[in-house]
Structure 1
Amino acid sequence: MSVRVGGNQMPDEDLTEIKFRLFDGSDIGPMQCSATSTVASIKSRILAEWPKDKKITPKVASDIKLVSAGKILENCKTIAQYRTPFGELPGGIITMHVVVQPSLAKSKTEKSVVEAPKKGSKAPVAVKKKQEKVVNPLFEKRSKQFGIGGALPPKRDLHRFVKWPKVVRIQRQRRILKQRLKVPPAINQFTRTLDKNLATSLFKMLLKYRPEDRAAKKERLQRAQAESEGKTVESKKPIVVKYGLNHVTYLIEQNKAQLVVIAHDVDPIELVVWLPALCRKMEIPYCIVKERHVWGQLSTRKLLQCCA
C-alpha cells in the first residue's frame, strides 16, 4: 500500500492515495480513500476492480486478505488506525506494501458447520464430480451381446423362461454363421434377389400362365379324343408354367425354357446351387426371388424350388 502525503498538506487531511499490490506482483489502483474508511469497505472496492485476466479470482470480499508490515488487517479497523503518524514520515512520504491473497482453501483451524436436517426432510446428498475419461479413438467400445454366438449370459433363475422353437434357433444360428464365415460366391448370389415391385409384377405375369386344373384338363382330353375319332375340333395344348426340379432342368438342357425363376431359401441349398450356372451356360435368363409361399398359387404344390 503506497501512501502519498504531500509536503504542504496538513496532518489531518481526510483523503489518502493507496495502491494495492497483488499476489503475482501486479498493482491495483491507486485509490482515493478517506482516513475513516474501514478495511471491509476497501476489500469491496478491490473486488469490484479485480482484473478479469487473472487465473485466481475471489468470489466474495471475505476471500481477500490485506497484509501490511507482516500483519493481517482486521475488517473493523480503519485506515487511520494503521497509518503511520505524519510526524514520523521520512521526508513527508511513506510507502507500505499490501499483498492481496484470495483464501481459496479453508484453514485447518476453521471447522465446517453442518446444519442438522429438519424432521421429515431428506438429508442432503453429496454430489460427486464426474471425472472425464480419456477415450482413445482407435479402440471402439463394444457392448456385450448375449444372443446366439455372443457372450455367455450371467447365471439366473430360468424357472419362468420358455425356449424358442427349434426352427427359430436354427434360423438365427444360420444367420450368425453366414455373417462370420466366408460365403462362397455360388451361395452368396442367392442374397441378390428381385425387389418387391419387380417380384410383384413377375408373379402377376406368371398367374396368367398357371397350370390348368382338373376340369380344364378333362375338357381338353375330351376334345383330343373327339379329334382322334375324326371330328374336327381345334385343341391346342396351352402354354403354362412348368415346375419340378428335374423337369425344369430338362427344359433348360433342351433350350426350351424362356425364363427360370429360382427360390432364394431352398434347404439344402445344394439342390439349386448349380442351376444359375447352367442357365448362364445355356444363355437362358433367370432370376432369384423371395416369397416362395406365393408360388403355391402357380401350381398344385405349397412350395417350389424353381419354375420355368
Structure 2
Amino acid sequence: MVRITPQQTDRTSSNEGRPEYHGGTTSSYFQTASLVIFSLERWSLLSPASTLTQASVIALPSPSTAFHTQAKVPATKREKATFTPITKKAANKRKQAKAPSQPPASSSKWSEYARLQKLTHLQQPTLASSQDQEELNNPLARGLTKRLLVFGNMYRPESRAQKKQRLSDAAARSQTQEAENNGIQGSKKLYILKFGANHVAALAEARKAKLVVIAADATPPEAVAWIPIICRKRDVPYAIIHGQARLGTLVNKRTAGAVAFMDIRPEDMEEFNSLVTAIKAHHVEQINQQRKKWPSYSDLLTRSLLDL
C-alpha cells in the first residue's frame, strides 16, 4: 500500500496551525488520493493466476471521454409572452422624403367662384354704377313679392314625370274617344312661365310677355341689367325682386335671372290685373322718380375723364 502524505513545509501561512500544501489546493489533493486508492483496490480483487486479456478487462471510460460522449438534452426555447399595447407608436415621418399632405393657405389654389366672390367684394364699392345697375338695387316690396311668388307658383312648368303622365293620358283618351275633327284631337294649351334672359327679352321685344320678373342678385348684374330698358321701350310691366334662387324655384331650376308671364288662365285674369296695377303704382313709378337722381352714362364718362 502506498501512502501519500502531504509535504509539510517549514513555513506556515499567515493562519497559524494550518500547513501549506504545494501542487494544488486541499480539494484537488483529496481527489487525487481517492482515485489512487480506488484503482489499487480494484486490481487487488483480480487473482494472480488469471491471465489478463483484452476481453476480460473492462475498459473504463476516462472522465473527459465520458463527458463528451454523454447524450445532450436539447434545450427548450421559452415562448415569448404576447403583449398588445393600447396605443401604437407613431412612425417617424421626419426621415421620409415626402411632401406635406396639405399645402399652406398662402400657396393653396382657391376655386373659381371663391376668387370671383372675393374680387366682386373688393372692387364693387370702387366702381361707379350706372342707372341700370342702380335700378337693380331697388327691389319690390316684401308684400308684393310674396303675392307675386304665390301667383307664379300656379304657373310652374311641369316636371318630366308630369309630362310623361300627361302624354300617356292623352294617348289613352285618343284611343277610347273619337276625335272631333277627322280623328285628330287638339292638344291642351299649357299655361307656364318662360325663363331665360334672352328668351324673356325676345318675348318683351315682341310684346308677348304680360309681366317680366327680374332677379336683383343675378351674377353678373350686366346679364339682366339691359332687360328693363326693353320693357320700358315696349311698355311691358316688369318687377325686380331679390333672390334668383326663388325665381329658379318657380321654373324647377336652381337659379333664374328672369322669368315672364305669357299666357294667363281666364279664371286668374282678375287677380293678375290687380297684381300688375299694384306693381306699376308702387314700383315702376317710384323707380322713374329716383332715376332722375342717378348718374347717367354721360356723367360717368365725365367723371372718369376728370379722374384721369
Question: Greater strand share, 1 or 2?
Answer: 1
Question: Is TM-score (shorter-chain normalized) higher than 0.5?
Answer: no
Normalised by the length of structure 1, the TM-score is 0.41
- Bigger relative contact order, structure 1 or 2 (CA pairs below 8 A, ≥6 apart): 2
Normalised by the length of structure 2, the TM-score is 0.41
Question: Greater helix share, 1 or 2?
Answer: 2
